[in-house]
Chain A
């Protein structure tokens, strides 16, 4: 597959759509080869609108009756407004933020590892965050969520630093070494976590906090996810570096950039995003894997062009999964992690078979 237009100054191309909302941007320079690139911006606007509609639907779904009528009616709207403000808006925001940041984290991971099948959940990042959460539960169960997340982020950073350290020590002859190291490290973290969880009879608790679930999201309990959003914006700002890094260490060095530094920055972003999401709502599998792959089919591998896409579609994916999970068994819920697992694995298989067929 092709890495498109490293020659064009990409920061000019995509001005004004760092967010999920479609922004009117007249200046699209579609110098990139490939038929899809020229139509990408209107398409992105459509995708953004679709996500906005999904967000609107998400606001209206829930146990309490919240409808536009109820909100606009002067009387009796007290309950509806309250539910909207306390529960619905935070939940929808949390879904969008988590979806965006996880998908972008997956993209960064894939570019840095130069492997399509890497995401935070396969590189020890999520596993070390979950080990941190376990440590909090065992040693300081009374900590507030902010402190829990901080500890998880610390563990996640440490785990990722270890990942980097190992990468630096071993000869990277093949791009495959990176994800394999990640998988091995992740498995070790996972085994450690499971062992202690088993010892302390916490296996079920472990499962409940590692399964992505937005049911406990309320005002005051999700705000950390804005941190993940900020990191996503940072990722967008430095997107070109990831594009370059994605073309290999030699190429990067030839351009006068420090490959290890880009690697470190990217992994730091990924580690923090993952820790925040895992600590706040749990693990949501497949987003980081599927969304970037789907997007690369549409717009190619230029990070600056694909990050807005990845963010929008990541948000959409999580919104769809959560809406489905809430509707199927109303008024009860199916955790978004479970729905995403089912939908994601199907999509993944489809992607795999389809690409396999295309590549031959």
Chain B
């Protein structure tokens, strides 16, 4: 029943051992980042040959060749933008290519180089692409990738979402010589946004909620979904929400008390292709009392487009179109 006395030192030793390992991992981990960071400028300076030109990006400057034959993309947003610009890529990462990116699911045509989070470094080493593009989920792998091949990292700045999308689009356009196309896309996006903005401000406050595995978290201005508030002009129902990658954990009571006129729901489980239970989660006695529910203004945003692709220029366009659609419809209470 009771442990023998001599077991305690043993257990304590084990505990200290675990703590030491944990500490070691913690201490050793950051050393990964600084080393290649120092190598990055050197990278920018030395290779690239005469034909290249420097491209400034989120993590420095990289000399990119003028004639790109082999391009590997580790960011769905970048892939989305390249797709819109009409640029062919030769390699992608991940397994799941939703919506407008469906064609990249063909693994024969577009070889895989690992996942968005974990690049297959050996495959990249073997392929020696002319350019690797990281961003968002793969930004942390920039240092390692740039040691293998010229790499540019797309910016993710949630606080300036639209500027980021535009800047990223322009960067990719300049790398691939598609400035004309980019200008047209950006122009048209800006126009559509300013059209939408005229309707949103007067139509009530919105709350952005992400559901995942039966839990909810709320996102506000400046967050990864803050584009709805800051660029589309939807007044936030909870202005105090601070920006954070994973939002703020909330319960239904928070939604009831915030009482938004619009509830924008991102079903993370559905985004990654695993069913999803946002409707079931939200359909409860508290949320049903909100004005968003009563007016039938609970909007389930295209989850893959919003959650996975994010920041690509087509993706933002699609998000904008979805919101424009629901705002264009007259109010129609649907809740029974």
Contact = CB atoms under 8 A, between A and B. Distances in A.
Interface of A: 1-3, 62-64, 82-83, 86-87, 111, 114-117, 137-138, 141-142, 144, 200-202, 204-209, 213, 215-221, 246-247, 301, 329, 331-335, 349, 352-353, 355-356, 359-360
B112 interface: no
B306 to A, nearest CB: 16
15 contacts: A86-B284, A87-B251, A87-B252, A116-B2, A201-B272, A202-B272, A207-B213, A208-B212, A215-B216, A215-B251, A216-B252, A332-B250, A333-B248, A352-B8, A359-B5
How big is the B interface, by class?
Answer: 35 or more
Given A63-B251, A215-B215, A216-B216, A111 B1 contact: yes
Interface string B16-28: 0000000000000
Contacts of A217: 251
Contacts of B285: 82, 86, 218-219
A334 B272 CA distance: 25
Contacts of B286: 83, 86-87, 218
Interface stretch (B123-131, B273-281, B316-324): B273-281
Determine chain A's interface SS by DSSP, over half rule: loop
Determine chain B's interface SS by DSSP, over half rule: mixed
B252 A200 contact: no
Given A86-B285, A356-B12, A333 B212 contact: no
Contacts of B289: 82
Contacts of A206: 213
A216 B8 contact: no
A204 B3 CA distance: 37
Interface stretch (B51-59, B73-81, B253-261): B253-261
Contacts of A219: 285
A201 B251 contact: no
B157 interface: no
Contacts of B140: none
B1 A333 contact: no
A215 B8 contact: no
Nearest to A213: B215
B15 interface: yes
Most buried by B among A3, A62, A111, A333: A333
Contacts of A360: 5
Most buried by B among A82, A218, A219: A218
Contact of A218 (B2, B9, B249, B252): B252
